[in-house]
């Protein structure tokens, strides 16, 4: 199971890493009367039931050994410990209702000390901020309840057991990565209790088997283990093969991320100032760094809806891009529709355009959005090189955005490094399957699971030297130089809104 921001997916894979059946449904968002966006817990569960039934039938599987569940990072809800009923709606990672509590957290902690313990900077996206918002707006929901990620919630409905996986526990901000335990002093400081958080297990741990009544409803035969596969981007990164020096996983969807790895060590000043997030990798003795950008494919969706009310198909967008010259547009697009992530996190950052003229077409504007996202990710890549203490010379790119050949070529031209796009349509589903295979004993280790995947054909994108030179100048003398001006405007605009 892959429970994402836009879609929920299910798949059945065999022990050789072949997907036998897949199914997809929209993860429908709702607008609350008070203005915030949410997912409905019951609708999500009904969708999960439909999807599992569909793929089990589609794969003609007589039995399923294990279920692996991965999901978007900070989305979660409160569940009653006694009855198992949802006490709140599911609050998405991107919902800004808890924005003011990010500022409160920053004012009441030593940010560097907490970073070294958690691997994270405080954010409105995290579980702690959301719980403080609930504490202020619906305090009765906290009584006798437990905070669960979406993965943990589905796992509970399957097994009747409360547990949280480590990479998702970390996204609450009250989990100590250094001690692999809840940060009780921080929890208590903010008026919460240890009982508000479930037991934490390592990535891939089986927390139990599917309940008999649920198993019959899902068409599953025999005992089926349920394994928590963790943070979706970290989970998917396992599908690119054994980690190699200089090779980094790049996921392109509604949001975009880079994920790299390094040996276990204490975090320090350079890590803190990078703006990246850190955690424990499923591979033994490894940690990961991750940098995200919230409105990558989201920027394309925004412009598509703005120009054609969403009626413009993706094939038509590709045709528009075909008509644009391969040279840089010269337009600078700052892709901060949902704030700015690493390497300079700023929740109230705003998007911006420089250089538009009457001669520019719709195709130019779509290309400028691809360029702006490529500039943002290049900025992130350069900062990540400092943290990893080695050059990043290859990106292994997966996700919906990777189907756009124009975008991948622009990314290669901007960065000056090679991009590889493996023929891997559902990396996150496969990652969850591999992790479930480890948790249920199909594979003896994560290394064995990675080697079980069949060799993938790859499409390679190499930078054009002339365009790289042109893009480099625009990146250094344009994108990076004018970004502080945009930040100053953001700060002024924020001050005006508060006065």
CATH classification at residue 168: 3.30.420.40
- Within a domain: residue 437? no
- Greatest mean pLDDT among 140-144, 300-304, 312-316: 140-144
Q: pLDDT value at position 499? A: 66
Q: Which residue segment(s) compose the domain that 30 sits in?
A: 2-234
> What does the pLDDT read at residue 130?
98
| Confidence band for 420, pLDDT divided at 50, 70 and 90 | very high
Nearest Cα residue to 93 out of 134, 128, 137, 127 = 127
CA dist., res. 123 & res. 98, Å (int): 9
450 within domain boundaries: no
| Residue 139 within a domain | yes
Asked, for residue 205, whether it belongs to a domain, the answer is yes
Q: What is the pLDDT of residue 31?
A: 93
The reported pLDDT for the residue numbered 153 is 98
- 276 inside domain: no
**Residue 335 in domain:** no
Mean pLDDT score, 362-384: 95
Distances from the Cα of 134 to the Cα of 33, 127, 193, 324, angstroms: 16, 10, 14, 49
Residue 310 in this model has a pLDDT that exceeds 80: no
Report yes or no on 33 lying in a domain: yes
pLDDT in tens, 430-480: 999 999 999 999 999 999 998 888 777 889 999 999 999 999 999 999 999
- Mean pLDDT for the stretch of residues 102-119: 96
What is the 8-class DSSP label of residue 472? Answer: H
**464 in a structural domain:** no
pTM for the predicted model, two decimal places = 0.89
- The single residue listed with the structure tokens 């809800």 is 77
CB under 8 Å to 123, separation ≥6 — which residues? 74, 102, 129, 173, 345, 347
Peptide bond into 293 cis (omega under 30): no
DSSP 176-215: ETTTTEE-HHHHHHTT--GGGS--EE-TT-EEEE--HHHH
Please name the residue that has the structure tokens 């054994």: 242
Least confident of 84-88, 138-142, 361-365, 381-385: 381-385
Crossing angle for the helix pair 297-308 and 362-388, to the nearest 10 degrees: 170
Share of residues in the chain with pLDDT > 90 (%): 73
Q: Give the pLDDT confidence of 152-165 residue by residue, as tens digits.
A: 999 999 999 999 99
Confidence of residue 324 (pLDDT cuts 50, 70, 90): very high
Q: In the predicted model, is pLDDT for residue 199 greater than 70?
A: yes
Instruction: Output the pLDDT for position 175.
Output: 97
**pLDDT digit string (tens) for 38-76?**
999 999 999 999 999 999 999 988 889 999 999 998 999
pLDDT exceeds cutoff 80 at 316: yes
State percent of the chain over pLDDT 70. Answer: 99
Res 386: pLDDT: 85
- With a cut of 80, say whether residue 90 has pLDDT above it: yes
Longest dimension (CA), the chain: 65
Residue in this structure with the two tokens 């009544």, named with its chain if needed: 213
What's the total number of domains in the chain? 1
C-alpha dihedral (306, 310, 316, 322), degrees to nearest 10: 30
């Amino acid at each position: 199971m892959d429970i994402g921001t836009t879609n929920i997916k299910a798949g059945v894979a065999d022990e050789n890493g072949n997907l036998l059946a897949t199914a997809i449904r929209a993860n429908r968002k709702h607008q609350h009367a008070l203005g915030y966006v949410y997912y409905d817990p019951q609708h999500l569960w009904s969708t999960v039931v439909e999807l599992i039934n569909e793929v089990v039938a589609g794969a003609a599987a007589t039995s399923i050994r294990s279920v692996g569940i991965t999901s978007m990072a900070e989305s979660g809800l409160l569940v009653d410990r006694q009855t198992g009923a949802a006490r709140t709606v599911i609050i998405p990672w991107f919902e800004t209702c808890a924005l003011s509590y990010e500022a409160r957290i920053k004012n009441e902690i030593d940010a560097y000390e907490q970073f070294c313990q958690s691997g994270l900077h405080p954010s409105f996206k995290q579980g702690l901020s959301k719980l403080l918002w609930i504490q202020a707006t619906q305090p009765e929901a906290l009584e006798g309840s437990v905070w669960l990620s979406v993965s943990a919630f589905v796992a509970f409905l399957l097994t009747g057991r409360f547990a949280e996986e480590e990479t998702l526990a970390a996204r609450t901000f009250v989990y100590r990565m250094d001690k692999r335990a809840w940060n009780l002093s921080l929890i208590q400081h903010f008026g919460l209790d240890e009982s508000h958080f479930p037991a934490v297990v390592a990535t891939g741990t089986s927390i139990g088997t599917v309940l008999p009544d649920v198993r019959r409803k899902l068409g599953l035969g025999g005992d089926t283990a349920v394994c928590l596969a963790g943070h979706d981007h970290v989970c998917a990164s396992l599908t690119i093969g054994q980690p190699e020096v200089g090779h980094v996983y790049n996921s392109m969807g509604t949001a975009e991320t880079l994920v790299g790895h390094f040996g276990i060590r204490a975090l320090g000043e350079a890590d803190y100032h990078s703006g990246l997030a850190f955690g424990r990798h499923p591979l033994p003795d490894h940690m990961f760094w991750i940098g995200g950008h919230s409105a990558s494919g989201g920027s394309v969706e925004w412009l598509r809806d703005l120009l054609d009310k969403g009626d413009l198909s993706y094939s038509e967008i590709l045709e528009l891009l075909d008509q644009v010259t391969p040279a840089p547009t010269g337009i600078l697009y700052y892709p901060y529709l949902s704030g700015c992530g690493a390497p300079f996190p700023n929740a109230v950052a705003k998007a911006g355009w420089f250089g538009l003229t009457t001669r520019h077409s719709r195709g130019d504007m779509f290309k400028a959005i691809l360029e702006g996202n490529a500039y943002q990710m290049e900025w992130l890549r350069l900062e990540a090189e400092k943290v990893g203490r080695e050059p990043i010379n290859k990106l292994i790119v997966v996700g919906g955005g990777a189907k756009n050949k124009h975008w991948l070529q622009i990314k290669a031209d901007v960065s000056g490094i090679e991009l590889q796009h493996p023929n891997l349509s559902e990396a996150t589903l496969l990652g969850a399957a591999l992790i479930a295979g480890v948790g249920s004993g199909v594979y003896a280790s994560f290394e064995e699971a990675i080697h079980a995947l069949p060799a993938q054909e790859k499409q390679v994108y190499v930078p054009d030297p002339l365009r790289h030179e042109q893009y480099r100048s625009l990146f250094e003398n344009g994108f990076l130089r004018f970004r502080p001006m945009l930040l100053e405007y953001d700060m002024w605009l924020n001050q005006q809104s508060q006065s």
